[in-house]
Amino acid sequence: MEGLPSGLMASAMQEKMNGLFACDVAHYINIPQIVVVGHQSSGKSSGLHGLTGLPFPRDSKLCTRFATQIIFRRAKMEGIVAFIVPAENASTEHQACVREWRKELQVLDAPAFASIISEASSVMGVASTDGQAARHTFSRDVLVLEISGPEQEHFSVIDVPGTFKRITEGVTTKDDIVLVDDMVRSYMSNPRSVMLTVVASNVDIATQEIVQLAEDLDPVGIRTLGVLTKPDLVDKGAESQVIELLEGERHRLKLGWHVIRNLGQAELGDQVALRNSIENKFFATASPWNSLDKGKAGVESLRCRLQEILAAHIRREFPKVRAEINQKIKKVRKQLDNLGPRRQSQAEQVQFLMDIALRFQNVAAAASRADYGLVIFGDRVMCLATDAVNRADEFADLMGSIGHEFTFDDSDGTEDIEECEAEDFELEMDGPIVDESSPQFNVRSVPDHTDVEDMVHSVTVTVLEPYDDDILAWLKSVHRQSRGFEIGTFDNKLLAVAMRAQATKWRDLALGYIGDIITMVHSFISRLLGRIVAVDRVRQGIMGLLIEELRAKYQAALDHTNFLLKVELEGNPATLNHYFNDNLSKCREERLRKGFEDKTFSDAQYGKVVRLDDITQNHPLGNADHVIFEIHDILRAYYKVALKRFVDNVRMQVADHLLVAGGETPLKLFSPTFVTAMTNEQLEEVAGEEPGVRRRRAALEKELGLLEQGRKILQ
């Protein structure tokens, strides 16, 4: 609008403001406007008649029941259009109904105006003169009258219902008093409105609540213009008080006061010229009114004054309105984003869950391979692969340090094995009886998750540290209870019995380890859904559909762990690993070396040597003790091989393949394939929008559409 004369610029801006009001943007943005307020019988309607030239009805049955906006605009063609802008909180049906009502007129005389008011009242559902039942007495809808023509000046004003304090039996109620007060206050509270506060001159201004309300809402008085009516009815001698107001000697307003003289009942006529002529004559001849500044008296000067005020006000507020609309659009878009994608149709619900599943798989795949480049991994608790590997190391360490019941013997094998009774040891799978005052170790290190705590090892399960002494005595007891007619050997079943007892803690340690991995995986899935699904209902619905299949996968991991335990502890000891023979040879060699260690001496040529006589005179063990040492060494060699094999199998087959990094882990379950298999009922239950969300989305989309329309108007 650069280069336009200021008058045209103001007119263009005013047109844009009127356009904002017409497209309902005023529901969301305060728009600069002139609002005419006053008590009933204050002369407000007569003043509007003089100000606009429109024949506002004076019949009490046709008094203002709703706000009316009068818009004058200059145009090449003459035209009069009436339509209704529905209230913001009106029902969808009511909004559709009132928007359908539109009238185009050639003239707007008193009968036509009365007819428009009556029809609009009926459409809004308020009291009318046609005998039609009213749904309510007042309406928050706005009747808009647009008057266009080549002779019209750009001007706009809103008339709101007059406030009142006494009810009329059968017409108004106390609730109506409150409703009107609230309606008037809402228009006056608009910080961009200019309040044309109408007060009769023949009443004490100090008693006028509308004046007090204007002072409360505009304490500085920068947007209040006081209008005094009925100066011809002021008592003789009381005129000075009105003059003092007009001259700013009391109750001062920055916009000042103005006085107009409306027609009396006997002077009523349709011609505005007649009305203005009578008013002009009054202010020219009647004392003391003829002494007033001409710019503060009469409706014609009031109109000019208001046009100047409104133009200046719009110029000042126009950039603020445009900025506020942009801010509102940004805010509403953010609120819509917070609601997430629309998910009302089946296709929208599928797409919504597909997007979640794809993101879930992307993050889960990265977590399972320790690729923590995504932002979500800024939180340490999401590093699943690292936690699983660290827990595997902990499992291996525990198995190596406390997984055995007895500490293996490191003696030279020359001493006799002490006698012990069979009842000194418990030979079942639970192993020997050990002093419970010994240190205890928890088999779990990860806190339980409520979804799976019933299926994994309890966090309270502990194991005792290995029994340091008497493994040989224990093996001798085992041998004595199972020996047959062997000579210098032992029954091969004895090794299985000894192995099962020596490794009895493997079950608790392995199930504790897998229980921790299951809990880690499930907690990761739960946390990940919590991070990428903002809606609690959707997140809970997804988990509700997944939980049974997740538990089935967890149970499969536990079953496979038990299978590996059964193979190791209930099957026949067996291995093709050459380290068994290596370990057995080393064990025998070490025992032999220790047996001759105190009989060695240093030789300059051969180093440490043993005399042949010392070797031949070495005290041999009895057959039974020799067998016990043989059992011990074989058990020790086999235990080492079996331990490494079992630890690797549990980690690789169960923890890694079945739970964390394999192709069919629980992390793979929630996927696009899973979503496409969901029924329509499941889609609606999980992803369907709640009624409250639908209503909120519809309201925000409506607001966004209107704001964007308003932004185009202001361009």
Residues 295 and 303: their CA atoms lie apart, in Å, by: 10
**Burial class of residue 321 in the structure, from the number of CB atoms within 10 Å of its CB (0-12 exposed, 13-18 middle, 19+ buried):** buried
- C-alpha 84/C-alpha 69 separation (Å) is 10
Query: What is the band of 65 on the pLDDT scale with cuts at 50, 70, 90?
Result: confident
Residue found by looking up tokens 């928007």 in the block: 99
pLDDT digit string, tens, across residues 385-419: 999 999 999 999 999 999 988 888 766 555 555 55
Q: How far apart are CA 636 and CA 639, in angstroms?
A: 5
- Across 55-59, 221-225, 602-606, which has the greatest mean pLDDT? 221-225
| Average confidence (pLDDT) over 72-93 | 85
User: Does residue 430 register a pLDDT over 50?
Assistant: no
Least confident of 6-15, 260-269, 575-584: 6-15
- Give the single-character DSSP code of 201: T
DSSP 651: I
Q: How far is CA 328 from CA 322, 463, 705, in A?
A: 10, 64, 11
- The Cα–Cα gap between 12 and 21 comes to 14
> Residues 570-580: what's their mean pLDDT?
82
Amino acid 616: pLDDT:
55
DSSP 505-519: THHHHHHHHHHHHHH
Higher-confidence residue of 127 and 420: namely 127
Residue 385 to residue 523: CA distance in whole angstroms: 13
**Mean pLDDT across 272-279:** 79
What length is written for the chain? Answer: 715
What is the residue-wise DSSP string for 685-699? HHHSPPHHHHHHHHH
Of 8 and 84, more confident:
84
pLDDT in the model for residue 376: 74
Q: What is the pLDDT of residue 423?
A: 46
Task: Answer whether residue 466 shows pLDDT above 80.
Answer: yes
Average pLDDT, the chain: 83
pLDDT surpassing 60 at residue 319: yes
* CB 138, CB 173: distance < 8 Å: no
H or E element, residue 462: strand 462-464
Q: What is the mean pLDDT of residues 599-618?
A: 66
- Measured in degrees and rounded to the nearest 5, phi and psi for residue 628 equal -65, -45
pLDDT recorded at residue 437: 64
Domains of the chain: 6-335+708-714 (3.40.50.300), 354-593+621-677 (no CATH)
Helical ranges in 261-298 per DSSP H: 272-285
Q: Where is 609: in which H helix or E strand? A: strand 607-609
The secondary structure element, H or E, covering residue 641 is helix 623-649
Contact status, residue 471 vs residue 635, Cβ threshold 8 Å: no
Dist. CA 104–CA 25, nearest whole Å: 23
Q: Quick check: 514 pLDDT over 60? A: yes
Distance from the first to the final alpha carbon of the chain: 10
Tell whether omega for the bond before 288 is within 30 degrees of 0, i.e. cis.
yes
pLDDT band at 99 (very low <50, low <70, confident <90, very high): confident
Identify whether the C-beta of residue 374 lies closer than 8 Å to the C-beta of residue 473: no
* Span 487-515, average pLDDT: 84
Whether residue 589 is predicted with pLDDT greater than 60 in this model: the reply is yes
Q: Residue 182 — left, alpha, or beta (φ > 0 → left; ψ -120 to 50 → alpha)?
A: alpha
Q: Please give the Cα distance from 171 to 137 (Å, whole number).
A: 7
CA distance 628 to 625: 5
Contacts with 681 (C-beta within 8 Å, 6 or more apart), sequence order: none
Tell me whether residue 266 is exposed, middle or buried, using C-beta atoms within 10 angstroms of its C-beta: 0 to 12, 13 to 18, 19 or more: exposed
Most confident stretch, 142-151, 366-375, 563-572, 585-594:
563-572
Query: pLDDT band at residue 483, thresholds of 50, 70 and 90?
Result: low
Separation in Å, CA 382 to CA 208, 550, 599, 658: 68, 19, 61, 19
pLDDT of the residue at 238: 84
Upstream peptide bond of 672 is cis (omega within 30 degrees of 0): no
Does the pLDDT at position 154 exceed 50?
A: yes
Q: Confidence band (pLDDT; 50, 70, 90) for 432?
A: very low
Which two structure tokens, joined as six digits, stand for 165? 């304090």
Are 23 and 75 in contact by the 8 Å Cβ rule? The answer is no
Nearest to 513 by CA among 582, 446, 606, 421: 446
The C-alpha atoms of residue 39 and residue 199 are separated, in whole angstroms, by 8
**What digits encode the pLDDT tens for the residues 195-245?**
999 999 888 887 788 888 899 999 888 889 999 999 988 888 888 888 988
The whole model's pTM is what?
0.64
Question: Measured between alpha carbons, how far is 454 from 452 in angstroms, rounded to an integer?
Answer: 5
Nearest Cα neighbor of 72 from 18, 1, 10 is 18
Cα 593 to Cα 341, 585, 587, 608, distances in angstroms:
77, 12, 10, 11
Contact 225, 256 (CB under 8 A): yes
**CA separation, residue 386 to residues 372, 397, 657 (Å):** 10, 17, 15
Cα distances (Å, whole numbers) of residue 14 to 21, 143, 255, 323: 11, 18, 20, 17
d(CA 210, CA 157): 18
The segment with the largest mean pLDDT, out of 138-142, 221-225, 676-680, is: 676-680
Residue pLDDT, tens place only, 620-656: 555 566 677 777 888 888 899 999 999 999 999 999 9
- pLDDT value at 557 more than 70: yes
Rounded distance, CA 663 to CA 554, Å? Answer: 15
Q: Provide, for the chain, the percentages of residues in helix, strand and coil under a 3-state DSSP scheme, each rounded to the nearest 5.
A: 55, 10, 35
